Amino acid sequence: VLTPEQIGNVRIVMVRTRNPLNVGASARAMSNFGFLNLRVVQPYDAAFREARSAVDAEPVLTAAVEFQDVAHAIADCSLIVGTTAGGARHTLEPIQRLEAGAEIIRQHLQSGGKVAMLFGSEKVGLSNDDLNHCHLLLRIPTRTEHLSMNLGQSVAISLYELVRDSADTAKAIPLGPRRATAEERDRFLALLLHALSLSNYFPRGTQHSTEQRLRRLLRHVPVTQRDLQEWLGLIRQIVWKLESSQSQTSHPHE
């Protein structure tokens, strides 16, 4: 896990971005994950600081620094990382998947180095000249049929990968297999509610809140499909009894 200081040693460098909304969206994702150092090289639209979609990203956009070329934007960094869709473009370097590349970036940051991450324009990505600056080329593992990602989403995923806590995966508490579907549970819930209604269970006006309470109650019972069938049979029997006794007592009044 990276410290805030190590995260502070990452520069996000957006090269020739066309749409200012994409700069804004990237700035918001940066702020979400604590990356506050944005550098912009030759943006097509100088109005990028006013990007509307950048909710709460004003500090990142205001502090963003503009550069005329990539060389100056990366001058203080010792690891230069290029991102690419990894499609048709020919490069001399092997392109690593984000999962592997992020590990190299983390190690570099943990040894005190500064890292520049380059993101190219929406249309053509990074140029070959841009890529020549890079020690490491990354690609997000999109499928072959649809390689090209939205720019703001690429930035968001790359930063998430850097800060994700791999140790956290082990903390997952597995749920049992062969669980009933939501529809089967709902059928059970509906039958149970019917039985409760017939039993005058509901104080006036509480039907909705009771239904929500029971839904919560049932949700975490690890009901297998077989268990559920037994429960359904059981409640059906109660409902049958309630309904027949009701019809017996109510008939005389009709």
CA distance 23 to 43: 9
**34 contacts: CB under 8 Å, gap ≥ 6:** 4, 7, 163
Which residue's structure tokens are 């968001």?
A: 156
Kindly tell me which residue out of 14, 64, 116, 193 binds a copy of itself, with binding defined by CB under 8 A. 116
Q: How far is the CB of 13 from a copy of itself (least distance, A)?
A: 11
Q: Exactly one of 31, 37, 84, 121 binds a copy of itself (CB under 8 A); which one?
A: 31
**Which C-beta is closer to a copy of itself: that of 164 or that of 238?**
164
Q: Across-strand partners of 80? A: 116
Q: Is residue 133 a contact residue for a copy of itself (CB under 8 A)?
A: yes
Amino acid identity, position 142? T
Q: How many CA atoms lie within 13 A of 204 on its CB side?
A: 0
Q: Which stretch binds a copy of itself (CB under 8 A): 43-51, 166-174, 195-203, 234-242?
A: 166-174
What spatial distance separates the first Cα and last Cα of the chain, rounded to whole Å? 74
Residues comprising the chain, all counted:
254
Cα–Cα distance measured from residue 82 to residue 13, given in angstroms and rounded to the nearest whole number: 10
The residue among 42 and 132 lying less far from a copy of itself, judged by its C-beta, is 132
Binding mask 76-95 for a copy of itself (x = CB under 8 A): xxxxx-----------x---
Q: Which is nearer to a copy of itself, 112 or 245 (CB)?
A: 112
Tokens of 58: 């004003």
Shortest spacing between CB 119 and a copy of itself, in angstroms = 14
Burial of 61 (C-beta count, 10 Å sphere; 0-12/13-18/19+): buried
Stretch that binds a copy of itself, among 44-52, 70-78, 197-205, 233-241 (CB under 8 A): 70-78
Judged by CB under 8 A, the stretch of 42-50, 98-106, 236-244, 246-254 that binds a copy of itself is 98-106
- Tell which positions 231-250 bind a copy of itself, by CB under 8 A: none
